[in-house]
Each structure stands twice: as structure tokens, then as C-alpha cells.
Amino acid sequence: MSSVQSMSSDAIAGQRDAFIEKFLQSAAGAFSMFSIYIGDRLGLYRALAEGGPATSAELAARTGTHERYIREWLEQQTVAGILRVENENHGSDIRRFHIPPGHVEPLIECSSLNYVAPLAQLLIGAVHPLPAVLNAYRNGGGVSFDEYGADLREGQAAINYPAFWHQLPEEWLPRILDIHARLQADPPARVADIGCGYGWSSLGIARGYPKVHVDGFDLDAPSIERAKENAKRNRLAERVHFEVRDAGDPSLAGQYDLVTAFECVHDMTDPVGALQTMHRLVKEDGTVLIVDERVGDAFTAQGNDVEWMMYGWSILHCLPVGMTDHNAVGTGTVMRADTLRNYASEAGFRHVEILPIEHFFFRFYRLTP
């Protein structure tokens, strides 16, 4: 007898009600994400944090927005537990809204490791080409990274910026003693950063190690454009160069001391080809460092919070972008350690080591050529 047949009608009703409760909470949570996107993009949180508590009219005036919309948004934010209200029983001309102190860092402090607001922008980006995604589910094929648009690119760069700018050079690389020593030594080390997006990992390494030269490569031209601007703005353009290149390009070769790939191998249509390139790029005594998602070693029904989130990105974005070639392997966000080990071995690496660096959603792999 199956578990469904063995359930009493009371048990089924209990299960149904628990499911509906979770479903409704998720729907409200989705609205919170969309509302955070509005508050972030229109500068509403920043205006409240910097200008202090405001009525809807004051906030609209501060941000050049329409009072009626702002009033609705402020009330929604309060009910959602994101903002707080003073004088709640008075009219809207007296009711003032503010950001609780503990919500400021997650919502507006863009260089803080606790800055999570870009997740809302990433989510909006991930659903941007939904009709094309549905088409891919029906007919196979993929959806190009470009179709996800600016919100996906910007959200991705913003969510990783604090870690790449601070933790990467200040905590993660210093934990890998030989790499740390080589990046400080002469002759100046050369680093290649594959799938660099807006370039924050390349720039973070150059910021932390003032001798090194970094070449960042990405297939996406708008991302490379922004990476070049970021290099100039941070006065690192002399030592950090960016170029539009496909990681699978067989002509990509070099003699680099360190070759890195942050959160991108699982997005690639041909991860083995990309790893072969990384193998060609690295010196015999150099290091390849892959930073990808911290998922479990195997699929289990209960999963965990990280996998719940990673499968979400996968069904909407990472799997579709990884399916755009007819030969694509279709890895998806939930790239397990064994999957990477198999790719690395096919690409000619002798060994894959998981480094003992703790992070909520990243895992650090060191590949030996």
C-alpha cells in the first residue's frame, strides 16, 4: 500500500492545510521581494535612512516619486515587517515611516557582507525572460544570458561585490598559504579570472595584492564594459584588463600563476571545455581555484536552505543559460562536488581538493594541473 493510500482523511486535510499555509506565506514573501525591488530601485530605502522618518508626501518629495504610490508602498512595507510606522492611528499626513536600525545594513549598505537587497533585483532578473524559459521547458534548448537583462547582471554583481572586494583578498586567499605568498612575491604574479562578470573578483584580487596583474574574461560584452568602468573608477585599470572571451575558446592560452572562476562553471554550456582552457592558462606549478555553490554531495528529498535557494536559481536561470548550445551538458546551479571532479578529470586535472574555507553558500575547489 502506498503512503497516500494509507493516509486517513484527517491526515490528508492536515497536510493540505499545512501546505496552503506555507504556500500563502511564500506568496507574501514573493510580494516582499518585489516590493524590495521597488524600494531599492527608486532609492526609497536610502532616502528614509539618510533623510530620517517620513510621511508618504515627504518621501515622495525626497525621491521625485508619486505620493499615492508611495503611500501604498509604505503601508505594504509596514505590514510586511520591513518598515515601521509612528502615529499609525493618525491620517496619512501625520503617519511617519522609518527603517528599523537593524534593517539598514541589509537594505542599503552596499559594501556590507550583510547586504541582501540585490537578491530582489536578481529575482526580477531571473523571471525577466519567463516566456522564453517556458518555451525551453517545452522544446528544449536554452535562454541566453543576455535575455535576462540588466537586473540579472547588476544583481549578480551587487550581491557578490562585498565578498569579492573584502573577503576574497582579506580572508579567503590568505588562507591558501602558497597562493597568498605567490601573489605577494616577485616577479609579479599573473592571474586570469574566467567568467568575471562585472569584474569584482579580478579587482578585489588586484586591490589586495598590489603587485599582481589580472586578466578578466567573460563572454558577455555588457558585463565586460562595466568591468572596465569599475577598473577605471577604482584606479586599477593599469593592472587589471578585461576582455570579451569565451572560456571555451581553444586559442585562449597563457602562463598564469593563478586561474580563477567564481560562480560561473555551473552556468557554462561546456564546462569541460572551459576547464581545459583553465588548464592551458595555468603554469605547471600554478593553481586553479573554482568557487561555486555549497551544495550537498547528493540529492536528498529534504535538501537544505542553500539547496532550496540554489534549485530556485537553477530552474529559472542557471539551467536555461547552460542549455544554449545543442551540445550543452546542462549542469544547473546545483553542481555537486562529484560533478566538478568528473569535469576536472575529463579536462586533464590530476586532483580536486575542497578547501577548508567556510562560507554560507560558496565552496572552494583547488584543481591541480
Residue of 38, 189, 196, 272 interacting with ligand SAM (CB under 6 A): 196
Taking a C-beta distance cutoff of 8 angstroms, is the pair 111, 162 a contact? yes
CB of 93 to ligand SAM, least distance (A): 44
Stretch that binds ligand SAM, among 5-13, 23-31, 195-203, 251-259 (CB under 6 A): 195-203
CB of residue 359 vs ligand SAM: minimum separation in angstroms?
13
By CB under 6 A, the residues from 145 to 174 that bind ligand SAM are: 145, 156-157, 160
Place of cell 537544505: 304
Q: Is 107 in the site for ligand SAM (CB under 6 A)?
A: no
Q: Which of 47/196 has CB closer to ligand SAM?
A: 196
CB of 48 to ligand SAM, least distance (A): 28
Closest distance of CB 337 from ligand SAM, Å: 19
Alpha helix stretches (DSSP H) within the chain: 9-41, 44-51, 56-63, 67-79, 101-108, 118-127, 130-139, 149-162, 173-175, 177-184, 200-208, 221-233, 271-281, 305-313, 319-321, 337-346
Q: Which is nearer to ligand SAM, 268 or 344 (CB)?
A: 268
Q: Which of 197, 204, 208, 320 binds ligand SAM (CB under 6 A)?
A: 197
Please classify residue 171 by burial: count the beta carbons closer than 10 Å to its beta carbon, then call 0-12 exposed, 13-18 middle and 19+ buried: middle
362 binds ligand SAM (CB under 6 A): no
Amino acid at residue number 198: Y
What contacts 19, CB < 8 A, 6 or more positions away? none
Q: Does 219 bind ligand SAM (CB under 6 A)?
A: yes
Kindly tell me the number of DSSP H helices and DSSP E strands found in the chain: 16, 9
Q: Site size for ligand SAM, by CB under 6 A?
A: 22
Question: CA 222, CA 220: separation in Å to the nearest integer?
Answer: 6
Which residues are at the interface with ligand SAM (CB under 6 A)? 145, 156-157, 160, 195-197, 201, 217-220, 223, 246-248, 262-264, 267-268, 274
